[in-house]
A and B are shown apart, each in its own frame.
Chain A
């Protein structure tokens, strides 16, 4: 079962996938280009009906990495889509129009790392105070 999921994704998006890293039978990481994220997220969420877990963002000093974690509960597998975006101009397509549950986390990444999510319905601050200085992102490392 668990292999089937990866096979399905591979089959459909063979030319978009940069790399697949299977850490263990229950954990897989798929590297992608930022422009393909939305399409594959839609496929995994709508077609394969994976549960949306969360998005994490990491500042790797020269780029910002965004990870979309999805859980296949019956198989007990977590598939993580991973993409790198430019730190100077951090911008990526929002997945909130597809997944309602992603609204908060995208807002959080927006304020903590300064990533702009295109077409997010309500991109404003979530956690920090209103008088927090613009352009200062606590989770950036520089």
Chain B
């Protein structure tokens, strides 16, 4: 686990989100916030990922994909729920097409609330996660 704390490669999984959270994730990579200077890199394949950044509530169709993706991820793999939707589904909770929040489907290690969370909040969430990992 500790090895993970050095240079985290993240994979971005967008379920049924409004995509604002997703934009903010990408935003965190661009010059203003520049997450890459901490060695955090967005990767295109789940097989390279250490952390899954999950956004949005989960529809039935997406749930199937999520499970498959999680199985493909090299373990240990951490899951961070980004945004209010991913944490608790907020107003989409009662919808007929929702399969449940992320933590009902895969283990979630950190929650970053907000709608959408600011890039600063995301960075803080990741830092906290790293600190927790270092403690063991």
Contacts and interface: CB of A to CB of B under 8 A. Distances in A.
A–B: direct contact at CB < 8 Å: yes
Interface residues of A, number: 6
Contacts of A73: none
A95 to B, nearest CB: 26
A1 interface: no
- Which of A128, A129, A131, A138: most chain B CB closer than 10 A? A129
A21 interface: no
A121 to B, nearest CB: 23
Contacts of B97: 127-129, 138
A138 B64 CA distance: 21
A15 interface: no
Chain A binding surface SS class: loop
Nearest to A139: B96
Nearest to A112: B96
Nearest to B63: A129
Interface residues on B, range: under 10
Contacts of B61: 128-129
Interface in A94-142: 127-129, 131-132, 138
Nearest to A128: B97
Contacts of A128: 60-61, 97
A129 B59 CA distance: 9
B64 A129 contact: yes
- Which of B59, B64, B96: most chain A CB closer than 10 A? B96
Nearest to A127: B97
Nearest to B99: A129
B96 to A, nearest CB: 4
Interface of B: 59-61, 64, 96-97
6 contacts: A128-B60, A128-B61, A129-B59, A129-B61, A129-B97, A132-B60
Given A128-B97, A129-B64, A129-B97, 10 more contacts: A127-B97, A128-B60, A128-B61, A129-B59, A129-B60, A129-B61, A131-B60, A132-B60, A138-B96, A138-B97
